[in-house]
Amino acid sequence: MDSLFAKADAIAPVSKRRKTGKHVQRNKPGPSKQPSAESDKTAHSVAKHTNLPPSLRPTSPTLEGTKKYSHIADKKLRTQLTRQSANTARAKALVKDAELLLTEDAGMVQVEGELEKTWRVSQQEVSQAAGQEAARARQEWRLDGGPYRSRYTRNGRHLAIVGRKGHVATFDWQTGTMHSELQLGETCRDITFLHDHSHYAVAQKKYVFIYDRDGVELHRLKSHIEPTRLEFLPYHWLLASVGNAGYLKYQDTSTGKVIAEHRTKLGGCNTMCQNAHNAVIHLGHQNGVVTLWTPNLPHPAVRLLAHLGPVVGLSVDPSTGGRYMATSGQDGTVKVWDCRNWKGAVRQWATRGGGAELEWSQKGVLAVATGGSVNTYAKPAIQSPFTSSVNPPLYLTHPIPHRPLTSLRFCPFQDILTVGHTAGLSSILVPGAGEPNFDSAEADPFENKQARREREVKGLLDKIQPDMIALDPEFVGSLAPEPKLTTAVDDKTDVPFARLPRLERLRVSGKADETEEGAEDAADQGSDEEATSRLSKAEKEKKKMRGKNKSLKRYLRKQRKNVIDPKAVAVREKLTKQREERKKAIAIARGEVEPRKPSALDRFRRST
Amino acid sequence: MVKISVLQHAPSAHLPTRPGDPTPTQRNLDPLMHPFAKARERTRALNAAKIERIFAKPFVAALEGHMEAVETMSRRPESLTAVASGSWDGGLIVHDIAQRTHLMRVNDAHKGKVSGVCFSDEHRLLSCGVDRNVKLWDTREVDENGAGPSESRTPLSIFPGKSAFNSIDHHRSDPLFATASTVVQVWDETKSAPISNLTFPTSTETISAIKFNLAESSVLASIGSDRTFTLYDIRTGKAERRVVMQMRSNALSWSPTFPTSVLLASEDHNLYTFDVRSLNTPTHIYKGHVAAVTSCDWSPTGLEFVSGGWDRTVRIWKEGVGTQPEVYHTKRMQRVASTLFTADARFVLSGSDDGNLRMWKARASEKLGIIDTRERAAMEYRDSLKERWKFDKAVGKISRTRHIPKPVHKASQTKRTMLEAQRVKEERRRKHTRAGESKPKAERKKVVIAEQT
């Protein structure tokens, strides 16, 4: 038996005392001491030729940023948390190393000295300076059929265009392969690709239609009536549309169900954009209001009076994680707002030529199309607070003679801005607009057919439910806020709610009737206190029940169930008021108080 | 001079160099490039939890052959497949669980039930029965006398006893075995009479099960009908210590990895692990069964164990986690009389009153068969997702919820109500006695009544 115990003691002694940081471990010199890593010759000789899996790699010395959870009593939990934070710190360090993988450099325009200005650089100079391949992107498409709008896929490879008169085309702009070209013969107001270039939706005269890559009509979405603008939320697989009737509708393109219909109550809407980082839809309205919508809220999450007059352009900055929003109004101003703090615009300036189209690029270049020209502004200037309404320094500008300019789209992962106007479309080069390094797991301009299919399936599996859209996308997986309801009675230990007595339960949930039973009577009699004190004991006894049987008081007495009841509260208030009036009348009768004289202003007094 | 550079992706860097090559991929770990990373990961975790429940089909096979309840099971040392089982009809079968065939079958090994089986070495099997005999069998396909699997076999030797035997266990290295009846007897395989009788001085009990310790092979533990758990040393021939518990135990099993840890399956619906160095409290209580636990067995890894109960369920517990075990049941499985982990810790065997031996996967959603590296990586990723998101309401609920038969569910509800009522009553009683007079007693302290040496 002793040998058995000795064997067990060698593995784990029976003592149960917890060792925390307070008890310093005594290092006993002796043969049982662990040999240090340096002196371990075997490990040293093997180390060169072996590779430990990450889970077994030594964690000492602990990386900086590793938290110590010495306050946690549970040993197992403490170890787990410490290991977790060490892993997090290591992962952070590894992410820093991963910056080596970012091989490509962003484009730029650099000037020497004060006298040179970037906005003096013309498109001709840019395309001369750019390589042959990049210069091909500078294009003019002369098309009939009214002002054009365009949309790129998420990987920037494919472009869809739609003319007001019903000319729709989708194509791979790099290779010049046309996927489909349709003459729909009716008013078309907007176009958007769905999850990739294999499907696209067109906002036509009456309904939204979905076409496949080859231009075959797949669906007519009858619930979207007279749509004006479309947006597709790729991670939620939602097609959002807003129309002349002022309804914002969300349709799930994977199941086909309309999941939300919001009545904006602000009339027809012509301006819409999405925040790519929290999937909130921004709408700009005719009365100058900008509203932010999520599918699970029946009212706007944010409502903001942005302009005096209709809102014309809206865009959210993707380079800062959706922190800044730019709006432009018919009143000729452009405003940049901080989405975390809506108190006033960060910066605002006036433009020539009225309502401006806006678009923010991946790297944070803001393009503003007003009048006959497209102006672009670079990042730090437009987002730093500036009180006076002075134009920020211009980055590049490009005149386009075909007014009005109706749409602006930056091509993802390219330095290209596509401008839609009456005579077709023109693509201009804006160096520094596009993100140079794409992630193949998210959007890959060079993906093949197989990768596209795989991404489609993966995307469907990872589809986020629409009710998880919120202003703060980080709420998923964070700790729930602590409930305000506490069940501690008199600051003593927390007893579970179900085990409290009834009155305590009512008190905790704020429904207990805390008034004393005799309180009203006592207060009532208080006024006649001196009168009663004069009475003899016998007379007091005789008048004991006086006033008890008044109907209101009887009602209150019968009503008492320890629960606050609005009716009982009203009765009680009425009684107090009556008591006050009676007191006042007595005081006036005694001559202690002057009665209030009637005045001419009495007609404006609130009747009580 | 104005310096201008325009971004352009060289197709040569992003397209496969030769047809058939994989397309090169590029990574950018900037969080802005991965919107909704957390929400998408949660969706993946939710799917992983659902996938796990969809593929949770633990039942593998039913091994037939016995006419009546399977009372006892034992696995052959150093074999993954051979398992011996004894039944109430007196039959004895050695199963090959991989082939689902019988390696040996004796229909009338004993008169009345076979109460214990154990392997003495590679080829010899000991069985004891209520007919007061211990028999030694040769399990080879054709034994020394030339009797094959279909012919009737005769035992190699018979050890007659004085009273009905309840359990048998073989010494790890020596040719010794111990039997349990009214006393614990130690036998030599070569001698027909017991070489020693072990008993606690004051005991008048019937011993229901015995097991040799796995690390210190001379230490023997037994449980008895008078609610005791006793430790013996066969070298001294004495009972070392004994504890009397609140309720009797039905089965015991020594931990294969921790030498002093022993698991008891108790009549009071719970399982207890004891550290025999301090027997006054159990180290853990495992609550889940809704009727008496009739059998238990440790996994060879020592990280989990299986238990079978009178409530017709088999449960698999993690060591140190006292609640929410994995529950296995079928419509036709009756009261579980014996359970066993296989030697590779991947399967669980249960023998029940309906005469079947059932084989279950130890991890319900495990895929049997070849798993390639990518599939393995995906499974590991799903597992870590589930672990990471288990505190999420939806994910946790899916991975926690188990469908259990209605009677078991009702019984657990009733049990919960009763225990709650008891607790409330106790609390009220305490509230109305003088302060400090009756203190609440920890559940662990209630188990052991007396410790004797």
Site from B1, B4, B51 to mutate, A interface, most A CB atoms within 10 angstroms: B4
Give the C-alpha separation, A23 to A17, whole Å: 11
* pLDDT tens per residue across span B369-388: 999 999 999 999 999 999 99
**Inside any domain, residue A475:** no
A window 588-607, beta carbon within 8 A of B: none
Whether the CB of A108 is below 8 Å from some CB of chain B: the reply is yes
A window 39-58, beta carbon within 8 A of B: none
**Inside any domain, residue B332:** yes
Secondary element (H or E) of residue A46: helix A41-47
Does A567 share its domain with A436? no
Pairing of strands A258-263, A269-275: unpaired
Residues in chain A with CB shorter than 8 Å from the CB of B260 are 4-5, 7-8
Alpha-carbon distance B284 to nearest alpha carbon in chain A (angstroms) = 13
> Per the CB < 8 Å rule, is B36 touching A279?
yes
In this structure, what token pair is assigned to residue B143?
Answer: 């034994």
**Inside any domain, residue A512:** yes
Spatial contact of B389 and A477, defined as CB atoms under 8 Å apart: yes
Give the C-alpha separation, A421 to A164, whole Å: 10
User: Residue B344: which of B297, B295, B299, B307 has the closest Cα?
Assistant: B299
> Per the CB < 8 Å rule, is A414 touching B7?
yes
Residues in chain A with CB shorter than 8 Å from the CB of B392 are 477
Does A264 share its domain with A354? yes
Single residue among A453, A478, A497 that ends a domain in this structure: A453
* pLDDT tens per residue across span B98-141: 999 999 999 999 999 999 999 999 889 999 999 999 999 998 87
Q: Give the pLDDT band (50/70/90) at residue B143.
A: low
Question: Angle CA(A258)–CA(A260)–CA(A265) in degrees, nearest 5?
Answer: 125
Nearest CB to A464; choose among B29, B31, B36: B36
Does A436 share its domain with A522? no
Give the C-alpha separation, A52 to A61, whole Å: 17
Pairing of strands B270-275, B284-287: antiparallel
Mapped onto helix, strand or coil, the DSSP state of residue A150 is: strand
Spatial contact of B273 and B281, defined as CB atoms under 8 Å apart: no
Residues in chain B with CB shorter than 8 Å from the CB of A463 are 43
Does A327 share its domain with A237? yes
User: B65 lies in which domain range?
Assistant: 59-361
Residues in chain A with CB shorter than 8 Å from the CB of B28 are 101-102, 435, 437-439
Spatial contact of B67 and B93, defined as CB atoms under 8 Å apart: no
In this structure, what token pair is assigned to residue B90?
Answer: 């007196």
Site from A2, A3, A4 to mutate, B interface, most B CB atoms within 10 angstroms: A4
User: Residue A148: which of A402, A376, A328 has the closest Cα?
Assistant: A402
**Which residue of chain A comes nearest to B19, CA vs CA?**
A448
Give the C-alpha separation, B86 to B165, whole Å: 13
What was the pLDDT predicted at A289? Answer: 96
Alpha-carbon distance A475 to nearest alpha carbon in chain B (angstroms) = 9
Number of domains in chain A: 2
**Inside any domain, residue A117:** no
**Inside any domain, residue B139:** yes
What was the pLDDT predicted at A522? Answer: 56
What was the pLDDT predicted at B313? Answer: 96
Does A304 share its domain with A201? yes
Does A267 share its domain with A386? yes
Site from A476, A479, A500 to mutate, B interface, most B CB atoms within 10 angstroms: A476
> Per the CB < 8 Å rule, is B42 touching A429?
no
**Which residue of chain B comes nearest to A363, CA vs CA?**
B32
The string of DSSP codes covering A169-229 is EEEETTTTEEEEEEE--S-EEEEEE-SSTTEEEEEESSSEEEEETT--EEEEETTS-SEEE
> What is the domain-level CATH number for residue B305?
2.130.10.10
Spatial contact of B9 and A443, defined as CB atoms under 8 Å apart: no
> Per the CB < 8 Å rule, is B7 touching A451?
no
**Inside any domain, residue B406:** no
> Per the CB < 8 Å rule, is B27 touching A95?
no
In A269-425, alpha helices (H): 379-383
> Per the CB < 8 Å rule, is B6 touching A465?
no
The half-sphere exposure of B220 on its side-chain side, counting CA atoms within 13 A, is 32
> What is the domain-level CATH number for residue A428?
2.130.10.10
Spatial contact of B126 and B117, defined as CB atoms under 8 Å apart: yes
Whether the CB of A109 is below 8 Å from some CB of chain B: the reply is yes
> Per the CB < 8 Å rule, is A441 touching B27?
yes
| Range of weakest confidence among A309-318, A561-570, B69-78, B411-420 | A561-570
Give the C-alpha separation, A266 to B183, whole Å: 91
**Inside any domain, residue A156:** yes
**Inside any domain, residue A222:** yes
Alpha-carbon distance A110 to nearest alpha carbon in chain B (angstroms) = 5
Give the C-alpha separation, A91 to B197, whole Å: 63
What was the pLDDT predicted at A469? Answer: 95
> Per the CB < 8 Å rule, is A440 touching B27?
yes
A window 318-337, beta carbon within 8 A of B: 318-319, 321
Higher pLDDT, B25 or A509: B25
**Inside any domain, residue B383:** no
Give the C-alpha separation, A111 to A108, whole Å: 10
- The amino acid that residue B153 corresponds to is R
3-state secondary structure chain B: CCEEECCCCCHHHHCCCCCCCCCCCCCCCCHHHCCCHHHHHHHHHHHHHHHHHHCCCCEEEEECCCCCCEEEEEECCCCCCEEEEEECCCCEEEEECCCCEEEEEECCCCCCCEEEEEECCCCEEEEEECCCEEEEEECCCCCCCCCCCCCCCCCCEEEECCCCCCEEEECCCCCEEEEECCCEEEEECCCCCEEEEECCCCCCCCEEEEEECCCCCCEEEEEECCCEEEEEECCCCEEEEEEEECCCEEEEEECCCCCCEEEEEECCCEEEEEECCECCCCCEEEECCCCCEEEEEECCCCCEEEEEECCCCEEEEECCCCCCCEEECCCCCCCEEEEEECCCCCEEEEEECCCCEEEEECCCCCCCCCCCHHHHHHHHHHHHHHHHCCCCHHHHHHHHCCCCCHHHHHHHHHHHHHHHHHHHHHHHHHHCCCCCCCCCCCHHHHCEEEEEC
Give the C-alpha separation, A326 to A314, whole Å: 6
Higher pLDDT, B2 or B347: B347
Nearest CB to B32; choose among A107, A321, A468: A321
Site from B3, B7, B217 to mutate, A interface, most A CB atoms within 10 angstroms: B7
Q: Average pLDDT, whole number, for chain B?
A: 93
| Contacting residues for B59 by C-beta, under 8 A, at least 6 apart | B328, B330, B358, B359, B360
Single residue among A431, A453, A475 that ends a domain in this structure: A453
Number of domains in chain B: 1
CB pairs under 8 A between A and B: 173
Does A280 share its domain with A148? yes
Alpha-carbon distance A388 to nearest alpha carbon in chain B (angstroms) = 30
A window 439-468, beta carbon within 8 A of B: 439-442, 444-448, 451, 461-465, 468
Nearest CB to A106; choose among B7, B28, B277: B7
Alpha-carbon distance B227 to nearest alpha carbon in chain A (angstroms) = 22
Walk across the sheet containing B293-298 and list its strands.
B293-298, B304-309, B314-318, B326-328
A window 209-248, beta carbon within 8 A of B: 235
Q: Averaged in consecutive runs of 10 residues, what is the pLDDT profile of chain A (608 residues)?
A: 88 62 45 50 69 64 78 88 86 82 87 88 91 87 93 95 96 94 96 96 96 96 96 97 96 96 95 96 96 96 95 95 94 93 92 89 95 91 86 93 92 95 95 94 92 95 95 87 68 72 79 69 54 72 76 78 81 89 91 85 80
**Which residue of chain B comes nearest to A476, CA vs CA?**
B39
User: A165 lies in which domain range?
Assistant: 141-453
Query: What are the phi and psi torsion angles at B154 (to 5°)?
Result: -115, 145
User: Residue A405: which of A393, A414, A417 has the closest Cα?
Assistant: A417
Nearest CB to A436; choose among B7, B35, B40: B7
What was the pLDDT predicted at A519? Answer: 59
> Per the CB < 8 Å rule, is A1 touching B219?
yes
Does A502 share its domain with A395? no
**Inside any domain, residue B152:** yes
Secondary element (H or E) of residue A5: helix A2-11
**Inside any domain, residue B216:** yes
**Inside any domain, residue B450:** no
User: Residue B217: which of B187, B262, B172 has the closest Cα?
Assistant: B172
What was the pLDDT predicted at A20? Answer: 47
The string of DSSP codes covering A294-322 is -TT-SS-SEEEE--SS-EEEEEE-GGGTS
Nearest CB to A431; choose among B5, B39, B259: B5
**Inside any domain, residue A429:** yes
> Per the CB < 8 Å rule, is A12 touching B258?
yes
Alpha-carbon distance B215 to nearest alpha carbon in chain A (angstroms) = 7
B389-397 mean pLDDT = 93
Nearest CB to B40; choose among A109, A130, A464: A464
Give Cα B120 to chain centroid, integer Å: 22
Give the C-alpha separation, A452 to A213, whole Å: 13
Residues in chain A with CB shorter than 8 Å from the CB of B281 are none
The string of DSSP codes covering A60-113 is -SPPTT----TT---HHHHHHHHHHHHHHHHHHHHHHHGGGG------EEE--T
> Per the CB < 8 Å rule, is A5 touching B9?
no
Does A164 share its domain with A221? yes
> Per the CB < 8 Å rule, is A7 touching B216?
yes
Query: What are the phi and psi torsion angles at A393 (to 5°)?
Result: -60, 135
In this structure, what token pair is assigned to residue A388?
Answer: 């006076």
Helix B373-388 × helix B37-54 angle, to 10°: 110
What was the pLDDT predicted at A11? Answer: 84
Nearest CB to B23; choose among A276, A413, A448: A448
Measured CA to CA in angstroms, residue B238 lies from A439, A473, B234 at distances of 73, 69, 7
**Inside any domain, residue A14:** no
**Inside any domain, residue A374:** yes
**Inside any domain, residue B381:** no
Whether the CB of A11 is below 8 Å from some CB of chain B: the reply is yes
Alpha-carbon distance B100 to nearest alpha carbon in chain A (angstroms) = 39
